[in-house]
Amino acid sequence: MKPWRVLSSNVLIDRLPWLRVTEQNVRLPNGHVIERYLLADTREYSMVFALTEDGRVPLVRQYKHGPRKLVYDLPAGYLDDGEDPLAAAQRELLEETGYVVDDWRHLSSVLLDANRTSARAHLFLARGARQVAAPHLDETEDLVTQLCVPEQLLAMVRSHEIDNMATVACILLALDVLNGR
């Protein structure tokens, strides 16, 4: 199975770092041509399952304009230009919750939408989190943080109360490690 060959490429929208939409005419290895195939490059982000010293995990709840409802997420945020995913995870955890952690483990960096972009979400487990500051939010952020034990998070995934794909993946990957894989 070989890559598709790009015959022509045309940027329709360039609003990077948020979104760039490109349409391409591509030739498949079997000779079939697809016209105006769409790519949609989006911004990468990091997400953190942070376990505090007393065994709880900060979970944030905020309004999300995609589904136009409140959504539960683990602390997460977009990478700045050129920023290392781990540095972004540490920065966002501190900004959103005021926690710092020494013991970090990379869980996985997963493709967001393999048909449209190479962009990934970088998922981390951080153990031994301690609060050193109050949350520091910008004026577009309005979120509530609660501390949950891992069993609660799993119950919320099972009941679909937690229904954001990245958050589901990050919780289950973290629990796989914590359960002694």
Footprint of a second copy (CB under 8 A): 1-4, 12-13, 15, 18-19, 21, 26, 28-30, 32, 34, 36-40, 42, 61-71, 73, 108-121, 139-140, 142-144, 154, 157-158, 160, 163-166, 168-169, 172-173, 176, 181
Sign of the C-alpha dihedral, residues 72, 74, 77, 82? Answer: negative
Minimum distance, C-beta of residue 180 to a second copy, in the bound complex (Å): 12
Instruction: Give every CB contact of residue 95 below 8 A, 6+ residues apart in sequence.
Output: 77, 135, 136, 137
> What is the side-by-side order of every strand in the sheet holding 57-64?
69-73, 57-64, 143-148
55 secondary structure, DSSP code? S
End-to-end CA distance of the chain: 33
When the beta carbons of 94 and 121 are compared against a second copy, the nearer one is: 121
Minimum distance, C-beta of residue 136 to a second copy, in the bound complex (Å): 16
Helix (H/G/I), strand (E/B), else coil: 168? helix
Question: What distance in Å separates the CA atoms of residue 43 and residue 15, rounded to the nearest whole number?
Answer: 10
Minimum distance, C-beta of residue 117 to a second copy, in the bound complex (Å): 5
Minimum distance, C-beta of residue 104 to a second copy, in the bound complex (Å): 16
Pull the structure tokens for residue 68.
């136009």
